[in-house]
Amino acid sequence: MPAPLPTIVHITGMSGTGKSITLDILARRGWEAIDTDFGDWLVKDTDGDLIWDEPKIEARLGAVPPAGRLVIAGTVRNQGQLRNRFDAVVLLTAPLDIMLDRVLARATNPYGKSTAQQNDIRAYTRTVQPLLRANADLEIDTSMLDPEAVADVIEQFVDGRRPA
């Protein structure tokens, strides 16, 4: 029997939807996990906005072991440029008040603590989230499930899409 094809998943969503914790859970389950908010996966574009370093991400996507599972989390303006390289794009969502509560409470990422950043989250939820939704294969409301269940849903979805 041939080895299963590699699986490459992109988890996206607004700040406070649970991308990082979902990534951590999938990593504990044996996935290779990359949080593009950390490390040197981002570069500044001509406007000064942080975007994915496309050659670096592309190189990493091309190096997935044949039987491996890779999950990349992040939300940046140029993520659509690599859309065709992912087997699935998963959008994590939550009501705005829950997202704001989460970013205020988290200790792992400083983004979202200031009023200006919270206003950005509000604006991005109105303007960016619909674009993410239009390109997602699966949307999960993380306010409805505990983080382990969110990871379960992703794995079940991916396994259901894999060829036999």
pLDDT in tens, 63-107: 866 558 999 999 999 999 999 999 999 999 999 999 999 999 998
Residue 140: CB atoms within 10 A of its CB come to: 24
On the question of pLDDT at 17 being above 80, the answer is: yes
The rounded mean pLDDT for the chain is 90
Q: Which two tokens stand for residue 33?
A: 């996990």
pTM of the full structure: 0.91
The token pair that represents 122 in the structure block: 């509000």
Question: Is the pLDDT assigned to residue 160 strictly greater than 60?
Answer: yes
Q: Tell me, what's the pLDDT at 108?
A: 84
pLDDT digits (tens, 9 = 90+) for 99-122: 999 999 998 888 889 999 999 999
Q: How confident is the model at residue 1 (pLDDT cuts 50, 70, 90)?
A: very low
Q: What is the pLDDT of residues 22-59, one digit of tens each?
A: 999 999 999 999 999 888 999 999 998 899 999 999 99
Q: What is the mean pLDDT of residues 147-160?
A: 94
Question: What structural domains does the chain harbor?
Answer: 7-152 (3.40.50.300)
Is pLDDT at 62 greater than 60 in this prediction?
Answer: yes
